[in-house]
Amino acid sequence: MLNRWLGIGFLAAAIAAQAACGASQDDASGRASGPGGAPGPMPPSNGDTTAPVHRAGSGTSGFSTGTSAENTGTMTGAGGGKLGPDEGGGRPSEPPPTPPACLEAMDTAAAEAVTTDGDPLTRSFYESADDSNSMGSPTLARELLRAHQSPDPATVRTYEFLNYYRIRHPAAAAGHVAIYADAEVSQKDPSRVSLQIGVRAVDALKVRRPISLTLALDASGSLAGVGIERERALVRALAKKLAKDDVLSVVTWNLEDSVLLSGHRVTGPNDATVLAVAEAIRPQGGSDLHAGLRAAYALAHENFDKTWLNRVMLVSDGGANLGVVDRNVIAVEARDADKEGIYLAGVGLGPALGYADSLMNAVTDAGRGAYVYLDSAGEAAGLFDKRFDEIVGIAARDVQVKLTVPYYFDIPDFFGEAYSTDPVAIDPQHLAPGGEMIFQQVIARCAYGFTDPLVSGDPLHVLVTWDDPLTRQPHTDELTLDLNDLFVGAHAALHKGEAIVGYAEALKLVGEDPPGQLALAHARVLELLASPELAADPELTEIAGLLPNHPLFPAVPK
């Protein structure tokens, strides 16, 4: 396997240079071009349900990639528009031959693609970046790196890094999501394009909906020390954010559950009764997660209001087992078809060494809620102060993102959660107030032979369908651009996204030359911090300080 490496402009994953563009069984669906944002004509179904699902970090092929910082482009907001001709670099002087498997894939895609009134043939991909408030992975990695420990690659989920470290696109208008696209052509291989799609929610309302919040607080003996400090800091942070007439219930669990509050109506921020809960938690004994969840959901149902936010928040150091029955109960509660549902958020406490990330990842996948990890008491105060609405709220429910590109493109490298040509294979996700789904990927042409890097006039189209979290009213937003329009102007959003991806991907590469990857990722972040577009960016500054703490750093880039 070839080593993954950073180009001057962005990180590229190279698994097998010049491999086939895609599996021939991929089916292609139609372009969304109907009036009012509605989908355009779709091809008749052939009954094929074999379209593969590509999970995080995987691709249908592997192309060696690099890009040039001189090849500039622009970030384009929702509504888009023509921005000017392509100014990208040219083709290699001696392009490699097109692999036979790639030609076969192109023929298959062309036969299955859609054309209407002479429009170009297109293919569509349905993409997931997980719920926008799933962001526990980067803070778990941060705690380990600060201790000069190597994160377990299995706990590094790149899309959660893109959720936690913000790209900061402008907020959407009320009743919409905003769609942004940014791209660069690789100078080393003009068949490859680094493409970033952003789907941004509205900001949180100044006066949010009331919340009925039920805390299921781990009180087992394993929390003694930093765990209980972080849990108490969490309760204090929540006390600061809860508003008058919010309802709070609290159950602690170890070998048995104990109800500390039931349906307490909050008097306002820093309610003395809520603050007293922090001091009442006493870690002792073992863990009975099942009993804790059962008691928490009973309290949540007692205080349920269909017009409110209704949340259960499971707080644990991960040292418990999640049974199949518990997972099914969580999923049913979150997917109740008749109301918004009781979503379950997970808050991990650590400490990181020995923390079972799999528990919180599992409960939040089932519960459709946020996943955050507190690597310090200060993180509890800062995260819940600045992003409370993002953690507990939902701005757009069941978001589905459909990317349509010319038929001769495939996705060799994808850094979201999953993608497929089959919409049924990709679960819709939720978008939080102030949150954003970032889809980082490489799209690649299957063949050389074009005079220009791309065929002028061929479109990129993003269709986003979503439901109002309260009324369930369906909404549609879309963005259509000429592919060449994406390559002019500045690329701050794309470059920051690529740097975040480079950081996360370098942490995964145990056994694949990680020293070189860590150093290259670090060099790219430093380069961006020295640029006018991202000078002194606080999140990139944090990443630049963390990478040298990895036990395999420093190393000389290869």
Gap between the Cα atoms of 293 and 257, Å rounded: 9
**Domains of the chain by range and CATH?**
5-125+158-203+397-549 (no CATH), 211-392 (3.40.50.410)
pLDDT score of 78? 32
User: Which residues of the chain have a pLDDT value below 50?
Assistant: 1-49, 57-99, 101, 116, 337-338, 448-453, 557-558
pLDDT score of 322? 59
Which residue is it, tokens 């769609």? 179
pTM, to two decimals: 0.81
Q: Which of 74, 34, 101, 67 is nearest to 524 (CA)?
A: 67
pLDDT score of 122? 82
pLDDT score of 150? 93
- H or E stretch at 84: none
Q: Which of 414, 449, 419 is nearest to 103 (CA)?
A: 449
Please check whether residue 505 is in contact with residue 151, taking contact to mean a CB–CB distance below 8 angstroms: no
| Each residue's pLDDT tens digit, 493-508 | 999 999 999 999 999 9
Please check whether residue 279 is in contact with residue 235, taking contact to mean a CB–CB distance below 8 angstroms: no
57 Cβ neighbours under 8 A, 6+ residues apart: 13, 158, 414, 415, 505, 508
pLDDT score of 3? 28
Structure tokens at 35: 């009036």
| Each residue's pLDDT tens digit, 366-412 | 777 889 999 999 999 999 999 999 999 999 999 999 999 887 888 98
User: 263: helix, coil or strand?
Assistant: strand
User: 6: helix, coil or strand?
Assistant: strand
Which stretches does DSSP call E strand in 417-458?
Answer: 418-420, 429-431, 436-445
pLDDT score of 77? 32
- H or E stretch at 45: none
User: 396: helix, coil or strand?
Assistant: strand
